[in-house]
Amino acid sequence: MTDSTATALEPAIIARVLSESLPYIRQFHGKTIVIKYGGNAMTEERLQRSFAHDVVLLKLIGLNPVVVHGGGPQIDEALNRIGKKGEFIQGMRVTDNETMEVVEWVLGGQVQQDIVMMINEAGGKAVGLTGKDGGLIRARKKLMPNKEDPDKPLDIGFVGDITQVDPSVVKALQDDQFIPVISPIGFGEDGMAYNINADVVAGKMAEVLSAEKLLMMTNTPGVLDKDGNLLRELSARTIDAMFEDGTISGGMLPKIGSALDAARNGVRSVHVVDGRVPHCLLLEVLTDQGVGTMISSR
């Protein structure tokens, strides 16, 4: 293909894409979309810029994006600097007092502010929140099931289960055209901070905001079967079977579990999307081309 042919095709391609997006813009105008931001998209500069661009564009065309971010690699890097190694049980980070201090500093400080600035530089108006702001996320200590001794659950430190989400501050920011950026840190009745899995926070936030969509960004093409093939759609029954036979394990456990809970509790569509694909949010929300796995409650 010559350069002149490529140039002649470009306007037609652009026009087709814009035309394809119109019904989706109309359908989702004014609706809330919760985005779990993590993985490679948080650590590669080109993907960071792509993400910020997508979020700002979604806001400008009338959708209400809410970002819940992770930060596992950044936490691991900070722990390594103090000579500490991360430990995980059933996909959850074991969080002692020293680790919790690092988690608060990294998630509620460094990572969150980087995301806020990135969105603002792309033309948006982002505001960072933790669970403490406006009483957003209440939590209690999480105890993990012990397969070897069911009567003795595992204590993994300052890791929390969500007890209540008060979305008032998020809704107020949305009404003022801001983009909320939420760190997955909750606070207990005792005033203690708790590290909460970001997938769990995103799922619960989507539920309480009655979100139209929940998009969970990951480092894979989506949910894969045992042979590594992408599964375009998953039902509750299939997911339960995949939990049982170990196909879904490790860090995917809280992600898929939260996605399924959200689908069962009123979120209209839940997608696990490939965050390594530039502009994956626009592709998933505004085009016929999906970039991951859709999860349904059936």
Q: How far is residue 115's CA from residue 119's CA, in Å, rounded to a whole number?
A: 6
CB 37 within 8 A of CB 70: yes
Kindly report the number of other CB atoms within 10 A of residue 35's CB atom.
Answer: 29
Hey, what amino acid is at 29? H
Show binding-site residues for substrate. Answer: 71-72, 93, 195
CB 277 within 8 A of CB 217: no
> How distant is the alpha carbon of residue 164 from its chain centre?
19
Show binding-site residues. Answer: 71-72, 93, 195
- Strand 233-234 versus strand 292-295 pairing type: parallel
Q: Measured in Å, how far apart are the chain's first and last C-alpha atoms?
A: 47
Hey, what amino acid is at 267? V
Q: How far is residue 290's CA from residue 277's CA, in Å, rounded to a whole number?
A: 11
Kindly report the number of other CB atoms within 10 A of residue 279's CB atom.
Answer: 16
Domain 31-295: assigned CATH number: 3.40.1160.10
Handedness of CA 18, 171, 53, 266 (dihedral sign): negative
Handedness of CA 73, 78, 83, 86 (dihedral sign): negative
Global pTM reads: 0.88
Tens of pLDDT along the chain (298 residues) come to 444 444 444 676 667 777 788 888 899 999 999 999 987 678 888 999 999 999 999 999 999 999 999 988 899 899 999 988 888 887 788 899 999 999 999 999 989 999 999 999 999 999 999 999 999 999 999 888 888 888 888 888 999 999 999 999 999 998 889 999 999 999 998 889 999 999 999 999 999 999 999 999 988 877 888 877 888 887 777 887 888 777 787 677 778 888 888 888 888 888 888 888 888 899 889 887 777 888 876 6
For residue 136, what are the CA distances in angstroms to 106, 158, 195? Answer: 19, 18, 14
For residue 165, what are the CA distances in angstroms to 80, 139, 179, 206? Answer: 33, 9, 18, 11
CB within 8 Å of 1: residues ≥ 6 apart = none
Residue 137 tokens, joined: 């996320």
Secondary structure class of 24 (helix, strand, coil): helix
Q: Degrees (nearest 5) of the Cα angle 223, 290, 74? A: 55
pLDDT for position 180:
97
Residue 246 — φ and ψ, nearest 5°? 85, 5
Q: How far is residue 66's CA from residue 198's CA, in Å, rounded to a whole number?
A: 13
Residue 219 tokens, joined: 């480092």
Per-domain residue ranges for the chain?
31-295
Which of 137, 114, 102 has its CA nearest to residue 37? 114
